[in-house]
Amino acid sequence: MKEVIHTPVQHVEEEEYNINMGPQHPSTHGVLRLLVTLQGEIVAKLQPHCGYIHRGIEKMCEKDTYPQLIHLTDRMDYLSAHINNHAICLLVEDALQIEVPERVKYIRTIIDELTRIQSHQLWWSSFGMDLGGLTCFFYGLRDREKILDIFEESCGSRLLHSYYTPGGLMWDIHPNFQKSVKDFIKYFRKKIKDYERILSGNVIFRERSRGIGVLTKEDAISYGITGPSGRASGFSCDVRKHYPYAMYDKVQFKEVLHTEGDTLQRYLARMEEMYESMKIIEQLIDNIPEGDHQVKMKAVLKLPAGEYYQRVESARGHLGVYCISDGNKTPYRMKFRSPSFVNLSVLDHISRNTKIADLVAIGASLDLVIPDIDR
Amino acid sequence: MKFDIYDFTSFNQWVDKLLYDALPPVWALIVEMTIIGLAFLLFYALVGLFLVYAERKVCAFMQNRLGPNRVGPFGIFQTIADFIKLLMKELITIKNSDKFLFNLAPFIVIIASFMAIAAIPFAKGLHAIDFDIGILYVIAVSSLGVVGVLLAGWSSNNKYSLIGAMRSGAQIISYELSVGMSLLTIIVLAGTMQFSAIVEGQADGWFIFKGHIPAFIAFVIFLIASTAETNRGPFDLAEAESELTAGFHTEYSGIKFAFFFLAEYMNMFIVASIAATVFLGGWMPFHVGGWAGLNHVMDYIPPFVWYFGKTMFVIWLMMWFKWTFPRLRIDQLLNLEWKYLLPINLFNILLMAFVVLMGWHF
Amino acid sequence: MNSIVEYFTDIFSAVKSLLTGMTVTGKYFFSPGQIVTQKYPENRKTLKMYDRFKGEIIMPHDASNQHRCTGCGICETNCPNGSIEIISARIETPEGKKVRIIDKHIYHLSMCTFCGLCVKTCPSDALAFGQEFEHAVFDRTKLTKILNQPGSSIIKGIEE
């Protein structure tokens, strides 16, 4: 017998009115419905309604074997597809006590950092576009195409790659990989200065983002906001530093921390992260050791019964994968701690008493990818 | 009949004589006005079409891409295709709106821009109305456009349109002050408000060079203020795509929306031509006082080519602003006007008056 | 006095930042040689995809119409969402042995997620990625392809 569930009617004060931003809206990057209660132009309260792109990935994981999980986690946060896959591969390799070759670790780190740069490029493009500087969209995407070309050459596709497998990589990198990556870094170091000239230094942009949507460090810690959004408030949460995996404990890079936690600091944190990623790649790209690209794995992978947790730093924050296995070849339960879901929870808190035009800027600075929220 | 490309006064007199000889005076006057009206309508439509195409191409080149390139060679028929599409769209009527005002609003905006363009000189003698208070007339008449915007927002019966219209209205009224005062600076330098006299007075150098610092500051302020007044560029919050609704013209569809769209581009053309006339010399070629050789060479290029070239240059500057900068919020916009542009403007007028009195201009 | 100085320095730094931004777009306006747009579909003849591009799954046949598929069904087991259906048949060879051959290797292009597990796990390397990407059709049944061509047979010597 099905029950009709009544959602309680929102209590509105006098002179307040509710509007819907989305699900289809040019500024919410994906299908997210924000029920905003406005008093004139000031935001009084905000209720996000997610679930428009829920595909049941966690349930589908229960019937897939461990190598087959890769094609599902690709599609969770599609802008950091490789990093999601990395989490699954680490989980399986850890549980089966498999040590991957050095070559695999190097390549995985380089490709992870390229993914991070590519995700931040798309974020920059849409951030500029949301604030009204439409040229930023085209510049960012034009440069992102270079990374996508590198991926297409080595992995076979631009967006949803399925390149990592438990035990190594699907196939070895293309011989042109090193040269393409080095060319890209040289090219991008010049272009990122363009980005700073056109948006970061612009007085209009600064006025629209300084002091808007302040997230204090205590709030960041208590809500669990990780990634560049949390680090801009001073919360040191980089998984690459605290729980290193792959080659991250052997390369030099800085964890980008700011203190004020407003939209401008979140923006600057991501721009600096792009520089740090390029530094990591430069340290690794020339020294990829020779070796095998895949450890010989059994045809059917069965994880010993138990609970496993693995964490990686995706472009949006701390991505956690929790797996309960009962000894079969498919997991009993998979749970993903997705960074965008947690980051969304703070949108209401920091956008109170800002104007509706600022809400767009705050939403863009938190870098939410909606399929990551809904899985 | 002497058709001189450099001086249209003889051509005008010939047409005038022809009409007055053939018809009784009242009819001749009516026929003359009809001819001029039709010529302006045609000009309006053609320039509107051209400007939409130019905006898309300029925007595309700044964004490292091609722009329209399929409909016709280099995409020149793209605007015509767009307008045919707009003509074929359904005119959605709203249930509880004030129908008369709803239908009237686009026309008011177009009429205001029509009246303003009638006073601009295109070449020597090619001048529809030559008031001796020309600049004052143009400023007064372009203020009528606000009425159209507010009526559009009010009669749509939509609270978001009303908010958008109120914001637009506040923006336009505030920036009209700056426009007026920067033009006042040049009137102080030129000594007259009549357009043809202003252009003649630039025969030995454009005002932006003659009036050096105050004229240059006035030009910059005029550019900023007129971009804001036409709801363009970084000041287009009222009709922005990533905000809630499309502002005061949300509820308009089809040909009425095309009117607002066209009126926005024509307003841009008008303010650009005012800037070109008042600051950059209108149809006067580039002369430097005293260099007879250079002046003679420059005189070979026909005046309306100079006029259109300067207007297109100013339009290109305005497009450059729009495609580079992010948007300003409404309170930052009004802040800019009342706290920065207005005091600088007042100071500038004082400075220009001082310069003129002391004779420190070229 | 301080506030007046601050007022003017604010204005100057603001104008400077705006002009810097304008130089970037102005530079791109004057260099149409840097335009990155590719005029597809007019450039189909010169368009070359990368070797590893995942366009669709194909079963390579050699010149004498022979492929490498034994009909073992490992690709069907490994496909995460059932985009492959193997219909095999048992025939008798001239030596009298009963062997399994592939009758129909049905590939649902409409459901494939291009994960590559079928290509990777095939023991006889029968499948590969093709580079054709223009798959749009008006009729959905055309997206179900049979990969082994009619009249083809397996290359001799492929072990099970």
Above 60 in pLDDT, residue A9? Answer: no
Instruction: Confirm whether B352 is domain-assigned.
Output: yes
pLDDT at B243: 57
In chain B, which residue's Cα lies nearest the Cα of A201? Answer: B325
Q: Is A204 within 8 Å of B64 when comparing Cβ atoms?
A: no
Q: Is A156 within 8 Å of C78 when comparing Cβ atoms?
A: no
Tell me what the mean pLDDT of segment B300-309 comes to: 83
> Domains in chain B: how many in total?
1
Return the structure tokens found at A151.
């991926």
Above 90 in pLDDT, residue A322? Answer: yes
Structural domain for B277, as ranges: 89-358
Angle between helices B303-324 and B255-278 (to 10 degrees): 120
Chains near A with 3+ CB pairs less than 8 A apart are B, C
Structural domain for A241, as ranges: 55-374
Above 80 in pLDDT, residue B291? Answer: no
Residue B92 is given by DSSP the state P
In chain C, which residue's Cα lies nearest the Cα of A191? Answer: C24
pLDDT tens-digit map of B73-125? 888 888 888 888 888 887 777 777 778 888 888 888 888 888 888 888 887 77
What is the Cα gyration radius of chain A?
Answer: 21
Instruction: Confirm whether B59 is domain-assigned.
Output: no
Above 90 in pLDDT, residue B10? Answer: no
Which residues make Cβ contacts (< 8 Å) with residue B183, sequence separation at least 6?
A: B135, B139, B218, B222, B274, B278
* Paired sense of beta strands A42-49 and A33-39, if any: antiparallel
Cis peptide before A228 (omega within 30 of 0): no
Q: C73 exposed, middle or buried (CB, 10 Å; 0-12, 13-18, 19+)?
A: middle
> Nearest-CA distance from A202 to chain C in Å?
5
Interface test with C, best of A55, A71, A144, A174 (most C CBs within 10 A): A71
Instruction: Confirm whether A31 is domain-assigned.
Output: no
- Residues in chain A closer than 8 A to C129 (CB atoms): 156
Whether A64 and chain C come into contact, CB under 8 Å, resolves to yes
Cα A151 to Cα A173, A270, C55: the distances in Å are 10, 22, 15
Least confident of A195-204, A301-310, B231-240: B231-240
- Residues in chain C closer than 8 A to B66 (CB atoms): 35, 37, 39
pLDDT tens-digit map of C33-70? 778 788 888 888 888 888 888 888 888 888 888 888 88
pLDDT at A116: 92
Q: Is A132 within 8 Å of B324 when comparing Cβ atoms?
A: no
Q: B323 exposed, middle or buried (CB, 10 Å; 0-12, 13-18, 19+)?
A: buried
Nearest to A203 among C17, C54, C121 (CB): C17
Rounded Cα distance, C117 and C115, in Å? 6
Instruction: Confirm whether A320 is domain-assigned.
Output: yes
Q: Is B324 within 8 Å of C36 when comparing Cβ atoms?
A: no
> Nearest-CA distance from C94 to chain A in Å?
34
pLDDT tens-digit map of B45-66? 888 888 989 999 988 888 888 8
Whether C29 and chain B come into contact, CB under 8 Å, resolves to yes
Rounded Cα distance, C72 and A312, in Å? 38
State phi, psi for B249 to the nearest 5 degrees.
Answer: -105, 30
Q: Where are the alpha helices (DSSP H) in chain B?
A: 9-22, 25-62, 78-87, 99-117, 134-142, 144-155, 159-190, 195-200, 207-210, 212-229, 255-278, 292-298, 303-324, 330-335, 342-358
Rounded Cα distance, B185 and C9, in Å? 24
- The mean of the pLDDT values for chain A is 87
Which is more confidently placed, A21 or A289? A289
pLDDT at B362: 67
SS3 B140: helix
- Residues in chain A closer than 8 A to B323 (CB atoms): 134-135
Residue A282's domain is classified under what CATH number?
1.10.645.10
Instruction: Confirm whether B5 is domain-assigned.
Output: no
- Residues in chain A closer than 8 A to C50 (CB atoms): 152-153, 156
Q: Is B329 within 8 Å of A355 when comparing Cβ atoms?
A: yes
- Residue pair C82/C61 in contact (Cβ under 8 Å)? The answer is no
> Nearest-CA distance from B237 to chain A in Å?
9
- The mean of the pLDDT values for chain C is 84
Q: Report the predicted TM-score, pTM, of the whole model to 2 decimal places.
A: 0.89
pLDDT at A7: 61
> Nearest-CA distance from A48 to chain C in Å?
31
pLDDT tens-digit map of A20-38? 877 777 666 778 888 888 8
Instruction: Confirm whether A220 is domain-assigned.
Output: yes
Instruction: Confirm whether B68 is domain-assigned.
Output: no
Q: Is A156 within 8 Å of C23 when comparing Cβ atoms?
A: no
Which residues make Cβ contacts (< 8 Å) with residue A121, sequence separation at least 6?
A: A140, A141, A143, A144, A147, A274
Rounded Cα distance, A248 and B273, in Å? 61
Tell me what the mean pLDDT of segment A193-203 comes to: 86
- Residues in chain B closer than 8 A to A40 (CB atoms): none
Interface test with A, best of C16, C24, C118, C127 (most A CBs within 10 A): C24
Identity (one letter) of the amino acid at B105?
Answer: A
Whether A180 and chain C come into contact, CB under 8 Å, resolves to no
Tell me what the mean pLDDT of segment A90-113 comes to: 90
- Residues in chain A closer than 8 A to C25 (CB atoms): 135, 198
pLDDT tens-digit map of C66-118? 888 888 888 888 888 888 888 888 877 777 777 778 888 889 988 888 888 88
pLDDT at B222: 92
Which residues make Cβ contacts (< 8 Å) with residue A336, sequence separation at least 6?
A: A57, A58, A73, A76, A319, A320, A321, A322, A375
Residue B337 is given by DSSP the state I
Rounded Cα distance, A267 and A286, in Å? 31
pLDDT tens-digit map of A233-288? 988 888 888 988 888 888 888 888 988 888 899 999 999 999 999 999 999 888 88
In chain C, which residue's Cα lies nearest the Cα of A149? Answer: C50
Instruction: Confirm whether A327 is domain-assigned.
Output: yes
Nearest to A133 among B325, B330, B332 (CB): B325
> Nearest-CA distance from A281 to chain B in Å?
28
pLDDT tens-digit map of B147-178? 888 888 888 877 777 777 888 888 888 898 88
Q: Where residue B242 falls among pLDDT bands split at 50, 70, 90?
A: very low
Could you give the percent of chain A with pLDDT greater than 70? 95
> Domains in chain A: how many in total?
1
pLDDT at A198: 86
Find the farthest-apart pair of alpha carbons in chain A and give their distance in angstroms, rounded: 70
Interface test with B, best of C4, C29, C34, C42 (most B CBs within 10 A): C29
Whether B216 and chain C come into contact, CB under 8 Å, resolves to no
Q: Where residue C158 falls among pLDDT bands split at 50, 70, 90?
A: low
* Paired sense of beta strands C98-108 and C144-146, if any: antiparallel
Chains near C with 3+ CB pairs less than 8 A apart are A, B
> Nearest-CA distance from B61 to chain C in Å?
5
Whether C23 and chain A come into contact, CB under 8 Å, resolves to yes
Instruction: Confirm whether B67 is domain-assigned.
Output: no
Whether C53 and chain A come into contact, CB under 8 Å, resolves to yes
Tell me what the mean pLDDT of segment B113-140 comes to: 83
Q: Is A197 within 8 Å of C20 when comparing Cβ atoms?
A: yes
Nearest to A153 among C18, C50, C54 (CB): C50
3-state secondary structure chain A: CCCCCCCCCCCCCCCCEEEEECCCCCCCCCCCEEEEEEECCEEEEEEEECCCCCCCHHHHHHHCCHHHHHHHHCCCCHHHHHHHHHHHHHHHHHHCCCCCCHHHHHHHHHHHHHHHHHHHHHHHHHHHHHHCCCHHHHHHHHHHHHHHHHHHHHHCCCCCCCCEECCEECCCCCCCHHHHHHHHHHHHHHHHHHHHHHHHCCHHHHHHHCCCCCCCHHHHHHHCCCHHHHHCCCCCCCHHHHCCCCCHHHCCCCCCCCCCCCHHHHHHHHHHHHHHHHHHHHHHHCCCCCCCCECCCCCCCCCCCEEEEEEEEECCEEEEEEEEECCCCCCCEEEEECHHHHHHCCHHHHCCCCEHHHHHHHHHHCCCCHHHHHC
